[in-house]
Amino acid sequence: MKSLINRLTEQFKVSLEKQTKSDLCFIRVNKDDAEQLIRHCRDHESYTHLSFLTAIDRIEDNKFTLTYLLHNYQSHQSLGVHVELDRENPVMHSLHRLWGQMATYQRELKEIYGIEFPGSPRLNDEFFLEGWDQIPPMRKEFSTVEFCEERFPIREGRQSTDAKQTMKVEIYPGRGE
Amino acid sequence: MPKMKLKDIISPFYVWQRSFEKPYTNNKPIDERPGAPSYRGFHVNDIEKCVGCGTCETICMNNAIDMVPVENLTAQVGDSGLRPRFDYGRCCWCALCVDICTTSSLRMSNEYAWVTDNPDDFRFTPGVDEKPWDDHPLGYRRDPDYSLLKLERPAMTMLSAEEGLNSFDEVVHGFTPEQAIVEASRCVECNICVATCPAHMNIPGYIKTIREQDFEQGLRLLYETNPFSSTCGRICTHRCEDDCVISHLGKPLAIRWLKRYITDQIPAEKYQQILQHKITENGKKVAIVGAGPGGLSAAYFLRLKGYQVSVYESAEKAGGMLRYGVPTYRLPDDALDKDIDYILSLGVSIHYQTTVGKEIDFQVLYDENDAVFFSTGLNVPSGLRIKGEDHPRVLSGLQVLCDVASQRDPGVGKKVAVIGGGNVAMDAARVCRRIGAEVTILYRRRIEDMPADPEEIEEAQAEKCKFVTQAIPGLIEKAKSLKQVVIQWGEAEMVADDNGGRPRPVLQEDKMHTDSYDCIISAIGQAGNYSFLPEDIKQQLVSQRGKFTVSNHQQTSNTKVFIGGDIANKTADAISAIADGQNAAIGIDEVLSLGMGTK
């Protein structure tokens, strides 16, 4: 895949992030250059298939990373394109014109991370969460435990036992205060 | 009514011909379709491997896990005896519990179909409640190359063996602030170690204060159970680390060094202001014999309860074995004094160079006080029990250590043999190396049988003490020079013990050696000295295998007499003595203030 990376770096501002397998590598590109790069890969490098679009919440860096995974059916190689977004204002160009199904992925990311893709069809329609009134649930500051505790009562009869107390009673009763 | 055609009657029967074709739908019962090899299906737990640390319960983001007692499983050190019970009504199969499992006992099978009409069935304890998928070989397990737990310890900066040999400076430097936080964040707060610590210190609690950088709170937590934290942070036998759950897959937390880190952050003059101990006198008096860790720990806890405490110590300074038996490269005097000074600052009165039985009678202490605690330690060296051992060039390890601690020349010469495999033997050897002697350690068993702490053995080896193992001393003789001594020793063969005990060394009489040394240091063990006890009290005390029998709170059958430390506990280390001191204070308080009898 080295020659592909070489070709891409000649034409675009991209950097190789890592090659995780012989048939899979990841590159990074600026948000504004992403569409041109991905279109080029689709039309001129035979990466005709969009395997998926997903996001990673890097709360510690105050960033989201988008991953577009493209596949080349001729060489059976995959190319991951990473795009970094500001976490405070996560907006990405909609790439639904490249692949129709991109709109569905974008709609999903809007719902679960709150990432905006202006112009993407049906972006604000509910995806799989019905009547969601919380912050997007895949954002790391969303506390699943708190949400569960609030919404779903603990089943009757459930009880947990404290290890420290159990060990005190069973191993060293009467020692210490 | 419209006329019905023949076709209309026959056509429904046409579909019957389909009965002979292969159906498009699946057969019922549904054909078995196994999950993918690493599918996250139903949980499996190897309950022999699991130690009930509850880390799975803590990480579960849906509160789907409870730790529950299990039949035929009781708590023991290193294992809470509890096991995780899953509520599949809440589980989302995220597998965080598997990823964080400290023993990797928990995994998932690739089974995903489970039908029952009773919703309570979906609460189950994997490994305890038998399930058809228990033996499924496939399913999700943690990627061995990836761990949510941090398994490695930051490397401690230490003096090199060469640097160490040139001085009595402390070998271990202690953690830097960065290292301390990294190390403290490895703790999963399972509390398993608390049961192992003889003083049952709140270990996860004080480690947390390091993460939060609240050392004052850390110090307060340490002083709840241990007034010798600066000392224990250096020389504790740290059995807690043996049972640290992280040790199942990685290096246990450096609990001892984290404790030291907290005490190192706070200067001695701030202790009073931070700990804020307020004492309300209760008018009762307790005498303590021996100012070692046991005696001073009892003094500290009794003083906090308002007792007037008098400590009697035969040596010039307090600390007992910590001062006279532990060399300064392991425990510098100022680290020990920091602890002792704080205890004494609470108003404990101490009588130095006052040997009970000589300068003052035990009977007087007994009569003039409401209770007596003694923790006099094992300070009489055991003899080698071989011919010629009364040779003047045969020294005791304890004496050598005591001389060096008191800045006297132990007069060991340049070529020394140390006999023994415990900490006293290692320290005597390392002290001799520091004063320029060549040292050979003779031990009757193998290195792995040595009772000394592993790091003491490693450091002694690094400092080029020569280890001769499976060596049994036979005879000590005069040498030509009065400044030397000759020892005959024989090689031993390890013979398996038929009763299942550890292998025994058996002398091979055809493999004898004769060597001469400037001195032989005997360090094969110590015994107690009870000559200070009046006969009638001695008779009331029960002992077994050289140790006094006491209650949970260190009380003897004489309700006024309490005993602790090496002469009462099996483990014979500083932290056990400290724990005994605390428990004696509880016991004395029960008798004197709460009017409770023997417990």
Domain annotation covers residue A53:
yes
Point out the domain boundary residue: B98, B124, B150: B124
Task: Specify the range with the lowest mean pLDDT, choosing from A71-75, A116-120, B29-33.
Answer: B29-33
d(CA B487, CA B496): 27
Domain shared by B569 and B436, yes or no? no
Mean pLDDT of B331-342: 97
Tell me what percent of the residues of chain A surpass a pLDDT of 70. 100
- Which residues in chain B have Cβ-Cβ distances shorter than 8 Å to A176? 199-200, 225, 579, 582-583, 586
| CA-based nearest distance B244→chain A, Å | 14
We report the CATH number of the domain holding residue B207 as 1.10.1060.10
Q: pLDDT digits over B380-396, tens only? A: 999 999 999 999 999 99
What are the b/e assignments for A77-104, b being 16+ CB within 10 Å? Answer: bbbbbbbbbebeebebebbbebbeebbb
Residues B519, B396 share a domain:
yes
- AA identity, residue A132: W
Determine, for residues B225 and A161 on separate chains, whether the beta-carbon distance falls below 8 Å. no
Is the domain of B330 the same as that of B250?
A: no
For residue A109, the enclosing domain spans 2-154
- Structural domain count of chain A: 1
Q: Chain A interface, mutation test: which of B71, B200, B201, most A Cβ atoms within 10 Å?
A: B200
8 A C-beta contact, residue B565 and residue B541: no
Question: Does the beta-carbon distance from B75 to A166 stay under 8 Å?
Answer: yes
Q: What is the span of the domain harbouring residue B200?
A: 161-274
Quote the percentage of chain B above a pLDDT of 70: 98
Of B76, B98, B124, the one marking the end of a domain is B124
In the block, residue with structure tokens 């459930």:
A158
The reply to whether A72 falls in a domain is yes
CATH number at residue A96: 3.30.460.80
Query: What are B212-248's pLDDT values in tens digits?
Result: 999 999 999 999 999 999 999 999 999 999 999 999 9
At A163, the pLDDT band (50, 70, 90 cuts) reads very high
Identify whether B140 is part of a domain. no
The verdict on B519 and B392 lying in the same domain is yes
Of B69, B190, B199, the CB nearest to A161: B69
Q: Flag if A160 and B52 touch (Cβ within 8 Å).
A: no
In this prediction, residue A145 has a pLDDT band, given cuts at 50, 70 and 90, of: confident
Asked if residue B399 lies in contact with residue B410, where contact means CB atoms within 8 angstroms, the answer is yes
In a domain, B313, yes or no: yes
Alpha-carbon distance B223 to nearest alpha carbon in chain A (angstroms):
13
**Number of domains making up chain B:** 4
pLDDT tens readout for residues B541-553: 999 988 999 999 9
Tens of pLDDT, residues B101-123: 999 999 999 999 999 999 999 99
Same domain, yes or no: B109 and B224? no
The per-residue pLDDT for B599 is: 42
- Digit-coded pLDDT (tens) for B529-588: 999 999 999 999 999 988 999 999 999 999 999 999 999 999 999 999 999 999 999 999
What Cα–Cα distance (Å) separates residue B416 from each residue in B20, B323, B325?
98, 23, 19
Give the ipTM of the model, two decimals please: 0.88
- Six token digits for residue B335: 């680290």
Give me chain B's average pLDDT, please. 94
Would A174 be classed as within a structural domain? no
Q: Dump pLDDT digits (tens) for B301-310.
A: 999 999 999 9
Chain B residues inside the 8 Å CB shell of A171: 75-77, 195
Q: How confident is the model at residue B450 (pLDDT cuts 50, 70, 90)?
A: very high
pLDDT in tens, B47-76: 999 999 999 999 999 999 999 999 999 999
Structural domain includes residue B262: yes
Same domain, residue pair B354 and B258: no
Model pLDDT for residues A43-77, shown as the tens digit of each residue: 999 999 999 999 999 999 999 999 999 999 999 99
B547: β partners: B544
Nearest of B364, B368, B348 to residue B356 by alpha carbon: B364
Query: Does B399 map to a domain?
Result: yes
My answer on whether B105 and B47 are in the same domain is yes
Say yes or no for a CB contact (<8 Å) between A171 and B61. Answer: no
**B545 part of a folded domain:** no
Three-state SS for B137? coil
Same domain, B216 and B292: no
Residue B597: per-residue pLDDT: 54
Domain end among B226, B248, B274? B274
CB atoms within 10 A of CB B183: 25
Per residue in B132-157, pLDDT (tens digit) is: 999 999 999 998 888 899 999 999 99
Angle at the Cα of A39 from the Cα atoms of A35 and A42, rounded to 5 degrees:
145
Judged by DSSP in three states, A107 sits in: helix
- Say whether pLDDT at B29 is over 70: no
Q: How far is A151 from chain B (nearest CA, A)?
A: 11
Query: pLDDT value at position B37?
Result: 94
Whether A165 is in a domain gets the answer no
pLDDT of residue B38: 93
- B396 neighbors B413 (Cβ within 8 angstroms): no
Query: Is the confidence at residue B375, as pLDDT, over 80?
Result: yes
- pLDDT at residue B31 greater than cutoff 70: no
Q: What is the pLDDT of residue B28?
A: 65
CATH number assigned to the domain comprising residue B300: 3.50.50.60
When pLDDT is cut at 50, 70 and 90, the band that residue B501 belongs to is confident
